[in-house]
Amino acid sequence: MIILGIESSCDETAAAVVIDGAVKANAIYSQIAKHAPYGGVVPEIASRDHVKKMPGIIEQALTEAGCTFDDLDGIAVTYGPGLASSLLIGYSAARALSQSLDLPLMGMNHHEGHIYSVFLGDEPPVLDGCFPMLTLMVSGGDTRLVYIKEPGHYEVIGQTIDDAAGEALDKGSTLLGLGYPGGPAVQKFAEGGNPNAVRFPRGLDNAGGDWPFSFDRKLCFSFSGLKTALLYHLQKHPSALEDEDEKRDVTASYQEAVADALTKRMERALKKYNCASFACAGGVSLNRPLREKLAALSEKTGIPLKLSSPRLCTDNAAMIAGAAAIKLQAGLPFNSPDDVNPNLSLTNWSIA
Ligand code: ATP
Ligand code: MG
Ligand code: FE
């Protein structure tokens, strides 16, 4: 079974070929440099660039995998969530190919791609013994804990009530003058800094008062207070922006607060839910201190941890084609959408 995957939900133009669940090609073009001067993704720049790059990226993926359009059995494409104008470019390419080649069009949820990315690599995925699984989804737009009873069955058990973890790193990076995107910039600058120099808030831990959400408060995240705490710290200690060593300590402490808050929730969730494994996926799962803390948690609890290989953490199409292969193997239904859905939610089978 040879699946071509196409992804364009935000600022990565990506195509991949997955054969029997194994990743054979993973072509990615990132627009980061185009958006960096603006400090965030500019939708019109993103969609225009997707139009320019998509045909070449698809060709690159096929060449890398050593196959042609005639070898394909299906086309998997992200149809949400994401930026509508970006999604439409990948979706249109996929739909045109599926019609002209008379191949099934498999509509994929971008977050489902991130979830299954932890199983993907050079070899076919092995899911046996991994479920029920708890997945921490941490990306630029998402911070959630998802309980997955078995493939296709998603229950969100906690989520951020304000900013996503990636957003917190991006905003913190701006305040520290470290540039965009913030996650990698913060990690790089924090190297060698003291993560315990400043005690930044972990969000919600000391909060009282009403709780208007249906989720368990202990499993939810809040990062807006952390960002404000950094702002106040920098206002109170102007030297923190001038002295390199002090700034390194503040940056390391900020990163520590994000990684610690995420790991604490996972630890609580593992106590509450009986799981055969736990996982972390999405761009922020690249973060080294976070990976180390989760590995230590796995050691402490004896529950196996699944992390994606670095090239599969941030947006890519291998996770889209790979997730389609996993769903096919599990006999799960597919949606052949006739439009994109920028607000697509993670419901069971993700076909809503
Ligand atoms: P979503 O998946 O929710 O639609 P997205 O696709 O934009 O959002 P991803 O590509 O999965 O998000 O991840 C991008 C995020 O990952 C950015 O916020 C970026 O700062 C963060 N990130 C990338 N590398 C690292 C790193 N080494 N440490 C921490 N964060 C990182
Ligand atoms: Mg991106
Ligand atoms: Fe993503």
Centre of ligand 1 from the C-alpha of residue 170, in Å: 9
The answer to whether the annotation marks 74 as part of a ligand binding site is no
CATH topology agreement for domains 2-121+312-345 and 133-307: yes
Domain ranges of the chain: 2-121+312-345, 133-307
Distance between CA 295 and CA 263 in Å, rounded? 10
Do 345 and 41 meet the contact criterion of CB atoms below 8 Å apart? Answer: no
Dihedrals phi, psi of 75, to nearest 5 degrees: -125, 120
Please state which of the four CATH numbers 3.60.21.10, 3.30.420.40, 3.30.70.260, 3.50.50.60 is assigned to the domain occupying 2-121+312-345.
3.30.420.40
- What is the CATH number assigned to the segment(s) 133-307? 3.30.420.40
Pull the structure tokens for residue 178: 């470290």
**How far from 218 is each of 222, 227, 265, 291, CA to CA, in Å?**
11, 20, 7, 21
Please tell me the chain's helix, strand, coil percentages from 3-state DSSP, rounded to the nearest 5: 45, 20, 35
Centre of ligand 2 from the C-alpha of residue 111, in Å: 13
Ligand 1 atom nearest to 142, measured from its CA: 3
pLDDT tens, residue order, the chain (352 aa): 999 999 999 999 999 999 999 999 999 999 999 999 998 899 999 999 999 999 999 999 999 999 999 999 999 999 999 999 999 999 999 999 999 999 999 999 999 999 999 999 999 999 999 999 999 999 888 899 999 999 999 999 999 999 999 999 999 999 999 998 899 999 999 999 999 999 999 888 766 778 888 899 999 999 999 999 999 999 999 999 999 999 999 999 999 999 999 999 999 999 999 999 999 999 999 999 999 999 999 999 999 999 999 999 999 999 999 999 999 999 998 889 999 999 999 875 554 3
The kind and range of the H/E element at 110 are helix 110-116
What residues does the ion ligand 3 have nearby, CB within 5 Å? 139, 315
